[in-house]
Amino acid sequence: MVDRKLKIANKNFKSRLIVGTGKYRNFRECSNAIKVSGADIVTVAVRRVNISDKNKARLMDYIDPKKITYLPNTAGCFNAEDAIRTLRLAREIGGWKLVKLEVLGDKKNLFPEMIETLRSTELLTKEGFKVMVYCNDDPLMAKRLENAGAVAIMPLAAPIGSGLGIQNKVNIKIIRQQTKLPLIIDAGIGQASDASIAMELGCDGVLINTAIAKAKNPIQMAEAMKLAVISGRKSFLSGRIKPNLFGSASTTNKGII
């Protein structure tokens, strides 16, 4: 199989790793980690990260939005109204229409509130936004989001920031089989092997923030995640051998001495 570039809303990206910009010790560390990661897209929490006040340190001073695609997200929103208002603000500030929708159900588990998420997707799509949607790993709801006009499905691997890795591979496989949209694992990645597994399941990419930003060495972890995504993608495209409960000799018995 010949690989293609990651394509979201008719735009091509070289890297299949999307990196968040929160939780770093400072903007410089964030910038260095993103540079090493090779990411073409970074998520920006519009409600938390300064991107407009020129009198304070701005993310834009360290990460050039002309060179890397900013993906405004609605982190911290718990209803459709707040999420929609936040993304309208992002559109006013930077003209961004490719956005990441995240509507949470509670402050403890940070699971997506899917009824509000679906409603927000429908309304934002009608307004011309290209909506990449953070969601649970329910194949039925993923299909509804696709039908509502989402441009990418982004199921969680595990709760945000937990680092538990992919907890439900079966559902991720089902979502992969039923959608032609980009499928990007969002939330719960903890280490490089988790990113590889996501790619080996056929996902188109992974979004990682905490696992890089909170690592003891964020720069080195950013590189590890970059290589893991590349490795997992190559493994998926190569076509794995069929699993077998029993051993199989590496060589045939033909011509054996």
**Single-letter residue type at 171:** N
Which long-range contacts does 145-149 make (Cβ < 8 Å, 24+ apart)? 145/117, 145/118, 145/121, 146/179, 146/181, 148/118, 148/121, 148/122, 149/121, 149/122, 149/125
Other beta carbons within 10 angstroms of residue 16's beta carbon come to 26
Tally Cβ neighbours within 10 Å of residue 18: 29
* Residues paired with 11 in a beta bridge: 8
Q: What percent of the chain has pLDDT over 90?
A: 74
What is the reported pLDDT for 200?
Answer: 96
pTM (predicted TM-score): 0.88
Specify whether the backbone of 255 is left (phi greater than 0), alpha (psi in -120 to 50) or beta: left
Of residues 62 and 253, more confidence is placed in 62
For the stretch 142-200, pLDDT in tens is 999 999 999 999 999 999 999 999 999 999 999 999 999 999 999 999 999 999 999 99
Residue ranges and CATH numbers for the domains of the chain are 6-238 (3.20.20.70)
Cβ atoms of residues 244 and 212 within 8 Å: no
pLDDT bin (cut points 50, 70, 90) of residue 256 is low
Distance between CA atoms of 54 and 142, rounded to whole angstroms? 39
Determine the angle formed by the axes of helices 139-147 and 169-178, rounding to 10 degrees. Answer: 30
pLDDT confidence bin for 132, thresholds 50/70/90: very high
Give the residue from 170, 199, 171 showing the smallest Cα distance to 3.
Answer: 199
Confidence band (pLDDT; 50, 70, 90) for 257? low
Which of 42, 56, 49 is closest to 76 using CA atoms? 49
Strands (E), 51-179: 69-73, 98-101, 130-135, 152-155
Contacts of 10 (CB under 8 A, 6+ apart): none
Q: What confidence tens digit (pLDDT) does each residue in 76-125 have?
A: 899 999 999 999 988 988 889 999 999 999 888 889 999 999 999 999 99
Would the pLDDT of 248 be above 90? no
Q: Are 46 and 73 in contact (CB under 8 A)?
A: yes
Amino acid at 233: R
| Separation between Cα atoms, residue 106 and residue 163, nearest integer Å | 19
Does the structure show a pLDDT above 80 at 42?
yes
Specify the DSSP class assigned to residue 72.
Answer: E
Q: Which amino acid makes up residue 34?
A: I
Asked if 108 is an active-site residue, the reply is: no
Residues 100, 107, 126, 180: which is the catalytic one? 100
Q: Say yes or no to pLDDT of 32 above 70.
A: yes
Say what the pLDDT of residue 227 is. 97
Q: What local confidence, expressed as pLDDT, does residue 39 receive?
A: 95
